[in-house]
Amino acid sequence: MSRLNAEHQRLFAADAQGRLPEAPDAPVRALVLALQRPADWTVLAPLWRGVQTDFLWPEAAIAVNGRDGFEVWFSLAEPLARDEAAELLVQLQRRYLGGVPAERLRAWPGAAGADTPICPPFAAGPERWAAFVTPDLPSVFGDDPALDFEPGADAQADLLSRLRSVGAAGLRTAGAALGLHRRPAASPATVVAPVPGAPAPGEARSMETASVQGGVWEEPRAFLMAVMNDRDAALALRIEAAKALLQSPPAKLDR
């Protein structure tokens, strides 16, 4: 496996050809939003920057599709059900791209039958290449988002190697802000503690109430400790967890 293939797999769970999972029931680790006709990075940039500011997500990959558009590729640390991923993208579009006509946007996963994107780089036409690019380059392309030469595989791998995936805390923060719901991954017998400050069941919906950094807790105090010590969690959530711990008595040790 080449370095580039390894980065495609690490970030997006792509196969050796750079293709994302196509099975309708397959969970995903990539979210792709594209703007096209005409290509204008200034329209898509508020989304790319906004999730970093609002939800503390790491920088997403930016790509030119070699034809007519810019793409933002989000990597998820843990697989997300396809329908939940599609709804998350819908809400991100509404929050950051509400004024953009629907026909200029393409999301994956999204509508049934939509084409599954392929990880760049690849030839999109004669002397036209799709590629991942650094954040300072989109404005240079103007309305012609394509490279006229084949990008080096090692350079593409280097660029992707600096990117990180959106973790559980980032999804939880986004879900609470966007009013989304994520089905808990814990078994029915597991007692799950809610995230401090998250909406109660039946009210606004939260993307995650069961895990921080992939863990599952059966005791609320341990869960609060994990939230408070999670460096990827939003500061407001960590503060609320600390407050809750101060108000709750420590567990008694068995003698």
pLDDT digits (tens, 9 = 90+) for 122-179: 999 999 999 999 999 998 998 899 999 999 999 999 999 999 999 999 999 999 999 9
Structure confidence at residue 248 (pLDDT): 61
* Residue 59 scores a pLDDT above 70: yes
d(CA 174, CA 132): 25
Give, as one character, the DSSP assignment of residue 141: H
CA angle, 56 then 18 then 76, to 5° = 20
Q: In the CATH scheme, what is the code of domain 3-161?
A: 3.90.920
pLDDT in tens, 204-235: 333 443 334 444 445 666 667 666 677 656 66
For the four alpha carbons of 131, 7, 42 and 177, in that order, the dihedral sign comes to positive
Residue with tokens 């039958």: 113
Cβ atoms of 240 and 205 within 8 Å: the answer is no
The residue type of 21 is P
Domain boundaries, the chain: 3-161, 168-247
Across the beta sheet with 105-108, the strand order is 105-108, 28-36, 69-80, 61-64, 128-133, 122-125
As a whole number of Å, the CA-based R_g of the chain is 20
